Structure 1
């Protein structure tokens, strides 16, 4: 059984390898993350921040998600994980170890899937545009367009170390089991208070 201090970033802030000074004023207000205190299943890994990071996310996540506890569209989830990791590599910063963490968590109650990626850049420029994408077909979709296309809910929150210093951010997508289960209501909120799991 997972001990409380091993639950993923949806439930707490973590110890980052390298800290970055917090911006004096964030350009966009973060959305609170979905909180899952007792996940039905969780998995995490770290990925090197290079051009293959998204593909590596797919390769690592696919066999675990396909044989585990989420009854939703695994191919959609794997694509979203790829795009979140790729977005962190392209627009965020790696931690001091050169990696970004990826987590997948299955909610015990509604069986939604939480996909989280941390990076060391404490802001999310363009979040308002990303969170308001329609998901309707477009000629050249950007990475985060796939979140809207699969009826996911995008949010983010500053990532803090044990001393409360902002060391980056956590970007989260909540995917429904089916499009019919997609919800627009606000997710439960909680303060982030626990440590990072080890990959």
Structure 2
């Protein structure tokens, strides 16, 4: 996906039909919103890869049916991750960005990305959403 300010909305529009076609039993609208927020966060706080893109992947666990939403960008760090990942899902003021993951009972994590030669190429931010 080419990185732009409209990328979050584009992710939302692509995730809905993809999960519907995959017959994911979870809430497709929630998953689309989380994908939007992860992509938007990568645009605002991350860095596109050399070709101007960020990556978005959706993986459904065959056993648990949990959904992994994974967004990759070229920035090697995630400043303030602990604060973001440990947010309460309780509404306090106007909700922003990755707060939605906690609100929908998801689990947020991140790690560095490496190429086939073991060189660090960026990071991946992941949200795991339960089916219900």
- Is the shorter-chain TM-score for this pair beyond 0.5, marking a shared fold? yes
TM superposition shift of 1:135: 0.8
The structure number with the bigger radius of gyration is 1
Which structure: greater helix fraction? Answer: 2
Q: What SS does structure 1 have at the residue aligned with 2:123?
A: strand
Residue 164 (str. 1) matches residue 115 (str. 2): no
Residue 85 (str. 1) matches residue 39 (str. 2): yes
The equivalent of 1:177 in structure 2 is 131
5+ long unaligned stretches in structure 2: none
Structure 1 ranges of 4+ moved more than 4 A: none
> Would the aligned equivalents of 1:69 and 1:106 in 2 still touch at CA under 8 Å?
no
Deviation larger for 138-147 or 73-82: 138-147
Question: In structure 2, what is the Cα distance between the partners aligned to 1:69 and 1:49?
Answer: 28
In the superposition, the TM-score normalised over structure 2's length comes to 0.97
Corresponding residue pairs, total? 132
Deviations 1:100-125 (A, max 9, x none): 01000110011000000000001010
The equivalent of 2:60 in structure 1 is 106
Question: In structure 2, what is the Cα distance between the partners aligned to 1:122 and 1:174?
Answer: 21
Residue 141 (str. 1) matches residue 121 (str. 2): no
* RMSD, aligned CA: 0.8
5+ long unaligned stretches in structure 1: 1-46, 179-199
Deviations 1:61-101 (A, max 9, x none): 11111232310111000000000000000000000111101
Question: In structure 1, what is the Cα distance between the partners aligned to 2:116 and 2:29?
Answer: 35
Deviations 1:35-80 (A, max 9, x none): xxxxxxxxxxxx2111100001011111111232310111000000
Residue 126 (str. 1) matches residue 90 (str. 2): no
Question: In structure 2, what is the Cα distance between the partners aligned to 1:111 and 1:52?
Answer: 29
